[in-house]
Amino acid sequence: MADRPSAALAAVDRALADARTASYDAAWAMPGAFYTDPVVLAAELDYLFHRQWICVGRVEEVASPGDFMAVDIGNEPVVVIRGVDGTLRALSNVCRHRAMPLAAGKGNAGKGLLCPYHHWSYDTTGRLLGTPRLGARPDFAIADCRLPAFALEEWLGFIFVCLDATAAPLAPVLSELEERIRPYHFEQTRLRYVADEVWLCNWKHLVENFMEGYHLSTLHRETLHKVNPTRLCRHFPPGDGYFGYYAGFDPSLPRGQKGHPDLRPEQYDDCVMFAIPPGLLVGGAADYSSFLCVQPAGIDRVRVKLGLIFYGEDWPEATVDWAVRLFQDTMAEDKTVLNELGRGVRSGHYRPGPLAGPDFEGPVLDFFRYLARHLPALSTPF
């Protein structure tokens, strides 16, 4: 019994190594421990969420000076705040006094952040301004104290933060993907729906689910199947920092006409589904697009920000409401399955099955390969 946990992790290591070399037609699902073992989660936090570029939302959420949103990146409290100078920053959301998180949720902080505990105050760049009743001390200089700042990049209207000061810039890694999707001009879209939720599943199950079209015509028989049937899915080659596929629109449906003029006619025929791992998932289309920002909140909990962005201004409320309902209904169908997968992968009798071909579950293999490239060996101390 004593060596069973490491045996399970060794099986995960072998499966990840196999994923790196497997062809799309000979790839397999992952062992249960990949989704249930706390050692895997610890490695994911350390090597992915605390080191890679993590998408936390859209620029429209923090559009005006003083606007902020508090986010956890892995285990790290961060506040994304637009300064009174108009610059967007990612600051540590931990008070320099006794570690109270400064901001919660979203809002406008005016000229700065005020700690709710003892009212230390900071300006919108993170500089400490006030320390009530502290008095002058020879061993502490207010002028030298500030909230640590993290790297932040805006990419097509998405906000990415990286906790690792040594990380390479994000945009160059995404240049090939950007070439592919540039005509959609996601940076010119408008956020019309956003919600923060916690789902009861492992975060990787949500990534895999959003990024494969195999289940569109089965699980979503009454919803997405009528729009994006499985038979019209087409995988596209992944890059180092992205992967994805096209989900074709059913030919019998009328095509939207509201997209950017740069779009080619055939781009109205597909939804471009792409992931920027570990956590951003986008279902991009000419007229409106969905996105998910995914982060683990435990081995069987995932924090997810769900949003819809629309190109152009002249969208009737009724059409937006219809799109929101379709999105919510689809996500609810996904949630019913994903909330059950945790029980399945804990079964002592589960053995991983073969993945369907590249057009259907190819992005799942791309995700496994991304993880294999970035995670250390899990069955030995890291």
Q: Which two tokens stand for residue 84?
A: 């009174």
Residue 240 is which amino acid?
D
Please report how close the Cβ of residue 118 comes to ligand FES at its closest, in angstroms: 3
How many helices (H) and strands (E) the chain has is answered by: 7, 17
DSSP state letter for 142: G
Q: Taking Cα atoms as reference points, which of 253, 257, 304, 305 lies closest to residue 285?
A: 257
Tokens encoding 299:
């081995």
- Mapping DSSP to helix (H, G, I), strand (E, B) and coil, where does residue 287 land? coil
Could you say which of 28, 45, 60, 97 contacts ligand FES (CB under 6 A)?
97
Q: Which of residues 318-357 bind ligand FES (CB under 6 A)?
A: none
Assess 104 for contact with ligand FES (CB under 6 A).
Answer: no
Interface with ligand FES (CB under 6 A), residue total 8
By residue count, the chain amounts to 382
In one-letter notation, the amino acid at residue 368 is F
Residue 95 binds ligand FES (CB under 6 A): yes
Site for ligand FES contains 100 (CB under 6 A): yes
Regarding 98 and contact with ligand FES (CB under 6 A), the answer is yes
Smallest gap from residue 121 Cβ to ligand FES (A)? 9
Shortest distance (Å) from residue 96 CB to ligand FES: 8
C-beta of 146 vs 226, nearer to ligand FES? 146
In the DSSP assignment, the letter for residue 312 is S
Question: Could you give the CA distance from residue 345 to residue 338 in angstroms, rounded to a whole number?
Answer: 11
β-sheet bridge partners, residue 245: 235, 273
Q: In whole angstroms, what is the distance from residue 234 CA to residue 335 CA?
A: 24
Binding mask 112-151 for ligand FES (x = CB under 6 A): ---x-xx-x-------------------------------
Q: Which is nearer to ligand FES, 117 or 322 (CB)?
A: 117
Contact pattern from residue 196 through residue 215 relative to ligand FES, giving x for each residue in contact according to CB under 6 A and a dash for the rest = --------------------
Q: Which of these segments, 76-84, 96-104, 134-142, 256-264, binds ligand FES (CB under 6 A)? A: 96-104
In 227-357, where does DSSP find H-type helix? Answer: 317-345
**Complex with ligand FES: residue 131 or 267, whichever CB lies closer:** 131
CA distances from 81 to 143, 144, 191, 207 (A): 21, 21, 18, 27
Question: Which of positions 242-281 make contact with ligand FES (CB under 6 A)?
Answer: none
Q: Which residues lie near ligand FES (CB under 6 A)?
A: 95, 97-98, 100, 115, 117-118, 120
